[in-house]
Amino acid sequence: MASTAPPTDRPPRYWLMKSEPDECSIDDALAAPQHTVPWTGVRNYQARNFMRDDMQVGDGVLFYHSSCPEPGIAGIARVASATRPDPTQFDPESPYFDPKSPTDRPRWLLLDVQALRKTPLISLAELRAVPALAEMRVLQRGNRLSITPVTDAEWARILTLV
């Protein structure tokens, strides 16, 4: 039977994904065809494994702007594909080129992210001011992961802020 349902029937999970707005902002993603962009450039094994093992089509995404004048949550998105090899790892012209990645066994993956809407920016300071979000991964000291899980409760609380 044909279906547009996600590949499994598990409930959606939620994620926060960091993007430098100079490279791909929420506006860039919304301007892309189908509002969808390939999430290139993940070069951390833990983040890769989240994509490969835990993220599924339909999962919710907090689109986070990092390394910019106003870091924070800038929009809502969804996971829009399964993983596939990230072509930039094989492109010597790309800043994400990885000469150690074997072409027959690509080390790095990406998936598509579909932007759903832009939100008023929720700054780090605003996030930190919400007691219910105190345990959020992205707010923990020294956190550098570009993809982090978001709990159901954190997701629901953030949606009340946007």
Partner DNA sequence: GCCAACGTTGGC
Provide the CB-side half-sphere exposure for 78 (13 A, CA): 12
From 2-10, 23-31, 65-73, 74-82, give the range in contact with DNA by CB under 7 A: 65-73
What does the alpha-carbon distance between residue 122 and residue 85 come to, in Å, rounded to a whole number? 32
Pairing of strands 14-19, 60-65: parallel
Q: Which is nearer to DNA, 12 or 139 (CB)?
A: 139
Output the smallest distance, CB 151 to DNA, in A: 19
Contacting residue, 40, 89, 119, 146, with DNA by CB under 7 A: 146
Q: What secondary structure does DSSP assign to 109-149, as a single string?
A: EE-EEEEEEEEEEEEHHHHHT-GGGTT-GGGSTT---SEEE
Output the smallest distance, CB 25 to DNA, in A: 14
Q: Which is nearer to DNA, 71 or 75 (CB)?
A: 71
Q: Which is nearer to DNA, 45 or 120 (CB)?
A: 45
Output the smallest distance, CB 45 to DNA, in A: 4
Taking Cα atoms as reference points, which of 83, 76, 75, 38 lies closest to residue 56? 83
101 binds DNA (CB under 7 A): no
1 binds DNA (CB under 7 A): no
100 binds DNA (CB under 7 A): yes
